[in-house]
Amino acid sequence: MFFRNHHHTNLIVNHFFRTSQLLQNSIAVSNYFKQQQFQIHSSQICFKFIPDKSRLPVLNENDIEEQFVQGSGPGGQNVNRLQNCVILKHLPTGIIVKCHQERLLQRNRKLARQLLLQRLDVHYNGTDSIVEQKKRYILSRLEQREQRFSDLRMKKLQYQKIFQQQRQKQQQQQQQESDYNEN
């Protein structure tokens, strides 16, 4: 195949090279040309956090009171003119969630429900909630990492001591040989 532009050839070669690398290293691959997103990389299999969702509370729409108000913050006229901020109140517990992270009302409604579900999980389950599980997982991973690094530091110090001792022995032997040759 002949390309007129050398830059175009490099782009195509780089694209196929990256694609082949991603295909080799990925476990579940979605269609690259449609989504351009891969699900789980092979290096993440052992370390992926999988929470226990068995105690996750069910969000009943009858227990939610929903309001739409004008948001605040940066955005100028769009923020002042539209009511795209969502306020959810869970009636049985009294937990209130306010969400104005996105520009669109539907996205804010979805995000507000996710936040409410997360807060209900913390309220009902406490230390067994998904947030606390993730915190414990991250802390354990950090402790494991620190332990590995401290082990490596200790091994490095031991090897340095051994190397210094061997070097001193070699210097002593060289000194003895030089003394012997002088006599």
Q: Is residue 98 part of a domain?
A: yes
Q: Is residue 101 part of a domain?
A: yes
Q: Is residue 177 part of a domain?
A: no
Taking the C-alpha atoms of residue 52 and residue 118, their distance in angstroms, rounded to an integer, is 13
Q: Is residue 100 part of a domain?
A: yes
In 3-state terms the chain splits into helix, strand, coil percentages (rounded to 5) of 60, 15, 25
Structure tokens at 99: 């969400």
Instruction: For residue 6, give the amino acid letter.
Output: H
Query: Which letter does DSSP use for residue 65 in this model?
Result: E
User: Model-level pTM?
Assistant: 0.57
Q: Is residue 68 part of a domain?
A: yes
Tell me what pLDDT residue 157 has. Answer: 94
Tell me what pLDDT residue 102 has. Answer: 86
Q: For the chain, how long is the longest CA-to-CA vector?
A: 103
80 and 124 fall within a common domain: yes
Pick left, alpha or beta for residue 156 (phi over 0 → left; psi -120 to 50 → alpha; otherwise beta).
alpha
Q: Is the dihedral of CA 23, 25, 28, 33 positive or negative?
A: negative
Q: Is residue 141 part of a domain?
A: no
Surface-to-core class of residue 29, CB atoms within 10 Å of its CB (0-12 exposed, 13-18 middle, 19+ buried): middle
Tell me what pLDDT residue 166 has. Answer: 94
65 and 123 fall within a common domain: yes
29 and 65 fall within a common domain: no
Q: 3-class DSSP state for residue 46? A: coil
37 and 66 fall within a common domain: no
27 and 73 fall within a common domain: no
75 and 111 fall within a common domain: yes
**Can you give the residue range of the structural domain that contains 96?**
61-128
89 and 119 fall within a common domain: yes
Count of domains forming the chain: 2
* Tens digits of pLDDT across the chain (183 residues): 444 544 554 555 455 445 444 444 333 433 343 344 444 455 544 567 788 888 888 889 999 999 999 887 777 777 777 888 999 999 999 999 999 988 888 999 999 999 999 999 999 998 889 888 888 888 888 899 899 999 999 999 999 999 999 999 999 998 888 888 876
Last residue of a domain, one of 128, 145, 173: 128
29 and 80 fall within a common domain: no
